[in-house]
Every structure is written in C-alpha cells, then in structure tokens.
Amino acid sequence: MFRISRAARMAIAMLTAFIGAFVGLSGTPAHATSRIKDLANIEGVRQNQLIGYGLVVGLNGTGDTLNNIPFTKQSLQAMLERMGVNIRGSTIRTGNVAAVMVTGNLPAFGTQGTRMDVTVSALGDAKSLQGGTLLVTPLLGADGNVYAVGQGSLAIGGFSAEGAAASVTKGVPTVGRIANGAIIEREIEFALNRLPNVRLALRNGDFTTAKRIAAAVNDYLGTKTAEPVDPSTVQLSIPSEFKGNVVALLTEIEQLQVEPDLGAKIIIDERSGIIVMGRDVRVATVAVAQGNLTVTISESPQVSQPAPFSRGRTTVTPNTRVGVQEDGRKLAIVKDGISLQQLVDGLNGLGIGPRDLIGILQAIKASGAIQADIEVM
C-alpha cells in the first residue's frame, strides 16, 4: 500500500480543481455583458445646455464687415459705451471684431467657481476666428438665468489662406473652443442623497434588459429593491442601510454585469450604402436572384469627302451602334432560420454590391421572410 504525502495530495487537489475550472469555462458559451453604468443613466444626474451671445476681438482683419452685419456694429457700440467710450454717429471700419454664439454644457453637480469648456461659433461673415479673444459673455440656461460666464483665447482647429487667384481652407476656421473657458456662477440644486428612490433610465429601452438589470440588483442586495417600470426605466427603492447615502448604493450597483438584449434590426444608410445588421436577424426560406441590364451606345461617325476640284461638300454620316447585355444570375436559396453570418455569406456569394443589397433586403422584408425591423436613415 502506497502512502501519499500531504504535499502531494494538495498538489493533486489543486490540479483537479484547475482542470474542472478549465472544462467548465470551455463548456460555457461566451456572452457580451456590460456594466449597468454603461447601460443606463441615473435620472436627474445630467448636463444642462447653456448659450450666450458675445464678441471676439483681436482678429487680424478676418472679422465681420460692420457695414454688412448691423448687429456686430450695434454690439460693439454698446460694449464701448459701457466702457465709457461714445462713438455714436462715428464711422467704424475695423475688421478685427466678430459676433459669436457661445455654447457649453453645465456638468452635473457643477459647483460655483469650477470651470467648464465652451465652443465659440461665428455668427456673421467673419472669415476666421484665429487669434481672437472672447470678451466676457454670460451663458444662460433654458430658464433665462445666468449660470456661467465665459472669456478667454480661442483655439482654432483649422486655417484659411488666400491669394489673388487661389485660396485654401482646412477644417472650419470660424469655430473655436476655449478649454476651461467659463466659470460656473450658479449651481443647480439637486439633493441626490435625500431621494427616497432612484430611477435608472436605459439608453436603449428593452423589456428584457430592464428585467435583467432589476434582477441583478436584487440578487446583489439580497432584497427586492429594483423593479422595472417600463422598457426604459428601472426604479430603485433605497434600502434602509443606504438611507442618506445614495451615492454609496449607486457605486455598488453600477459595476454589476448585465447581458443586454435588443430586438433584431437592420439599419440602412441609403445615401452612403452602409448596412448594419443585428446579431438576432433571422430569415425564412426565400429564393433571391439579382441581375444587371447594361445598355451600350457607341458613336462612330463616317466622313465623306468630295473628289478633288469638284463642287461637292464634305458630309458626315452618323453611325450608331446600340448593344444590350443582361447579366442574369441564378436563383440563390436562403434557408429558413439562418444566422446573420450565413445570411451575409449567402448574399456576398451573389456578387452584389451594397446598393443592390439594400434593394434585396427591402424586397425580402416586403415578402415577410425577414424577421427584423428595417430602419432607413
């Protein structure tokens, strides 16, 4: 009788466990899971859009033409009058000023004194905002209140240059950006930690996905806390241990992995010929044939010259040849219940391009053989 040492028994146990884990992993199908953080937004935790009207100065003659853009001239006069300079009735011919619209997104829970990025876009006929400086511009929300004030030097992603007979433009020189160019002056009150319940807004509404998110949260917390309200909303009742500390609850559940489920859909961009199919697209048994009709017209006129020293005239006799060629292909059978990969392989086997593929997919949908929604952009 052989005796096995303790170290050998431990090594055998570890090896057996490793083999069992490997076999279990190899036999488990791989699913694409995503974090709840990537599938849903927290209702109320959102950005707010701001907009403002201002002036950009310091342009090297590429600003608005004041005689053509009256609002730029009026804004310049009003700004100078606030600075104690009266130019009413005077002729202004500067080309270094441009009227602009300033836009930005107030971040969620943005506090007073913090900064945010803004985008500056020309409003008049300015050729370029390169080298310009935005003057103090209040940024208003949808309620008309000022939430931030923007000012600073612009960074332009393009340029424009021209000569007497040619010009070149790269990018859009009439749009610029100011990193941290606005200071938040007003906060939006939102007491997240005092909410009795929180709602998760799914980015892609689906009944199955909403149910899976609620089940994952309930399994993790060990109590029925989450409930799907509709395909786009999952409501969370704050447990007693997280009362007054909703942030801790959201931190725990937003990392949970959930497999999203979406309906079968085909997206078609007819202008560019782009086709995107979902993985769950299925097709019933159908026969597909595709052919091209080519018409060729060639002109080879013949010239008839008169004899030398005769009174005849040179004439041109038209000679036209018309040819018709039909490139017909055999019927291809698309079997019932095939997968997306098999469908793509079968349609590619017909040797057709994206434009013809769009027509075939629409024809299959019209026949009722394709189980998917087709959305034409």
Please compute the mean of the pLDDT values over residues 47-66 and round it to a whole number.
94
- Looking at the fold, whether 203 and 229 belong to one and the same domain comes out as yes
Q: Which of 140, 143, 174, 173 is nearest to 53 (CA)?
A: 140
Residues spanned by the domain of 202: 192-258
CA 127 to chain centre: 28
- Looking at the fold, whether 139 and 111 belong to one and the same domain comes out as yes
Q: For position 24, what pLDDT does the model report?
A: 43
Q: For position 324, what pLDDT does the model report?
A: 53
Does the pLDDT of residue 193 top 80, yes or no? yes
Per the structure, the count of domains in the chain is 3
Does the pLDDT of residue 275 top 60, yes or no? yes
Q: For position 333, what pLDDT does the model report?
A: 60
Q: Report pLDDT digits (tens) over 200-216.
A: 999 988 899 999 999 99
- Looking at the fold, whether 57 and 127 belong to one and the same domain comes out as yes
Where b means 16+ CB within 10 Å and e means fewer, 315-331 reads eeeeeeeeeeeeeeeee
Q: Report pLDDT digits (tens) over 337-362.
A: 666 566 666 666 666 667 777 777 77
Q: For position 331, what pLDDT does the model report?
A: 54
Which range has the worst mean pLDDT, 51-55, 134-138, 151-155, 161-165?
161-165
- Looking at the fold, whether 73 and 103 belong to one and the same domain comes out as yes
- Looking at the fold, whether 234 and 173 belong to one and the same domain comes out as no
- Band of residue 308 on the pLDDT scale cut at 50, 70, 90: confident
Tokens of 80: 């100078």
Of 308 and 70, the structure prediction assigns the larger pLDDT to: 70
Please give the helix or strand (H or E) that residue 298 lies within, else none: strand 292-299
Q: Report pLDDT digits (tens) over 125-154.
A: 999 999 999 999 999 999 999 999 999 999
- Looking at the fold, whether 180 and 56 belong to one and the same domain comes out as yes
Domain boundary at 258, 274, 291, which? 258
- Looking at the fold, whether 58 and 175 belong to one and the same domain comes out as yes
- Looking at the fold, whether 157 and 218 belong to one and the same domain comes out as no
What type of residue sits at position 60?
Answer: N
- Looking at the fold, whether 197 and 178 belong to one and the same domain comes out as no
- Looking at the fold, whether 211 and 176 belong to one and the same domain comes out as no
- Looking at the fold, whether 176 and 200 belong to one and the same domain comes out as no
Does the pLDDT of residue 19 top 60, yes or no? no
Of 95 and 161, the structure prediction assigns the larger pLDDT to: 95
Of 314 and 64, the structure prediction assigns the larger pLDDT to: 64
- Band of residue 86 on the pLDDT scale cut at 50, 70, 90: confident
Q: Please, are residues 135 and 54 in contact by the beta-carbon 8 Å criterion?
A: yes
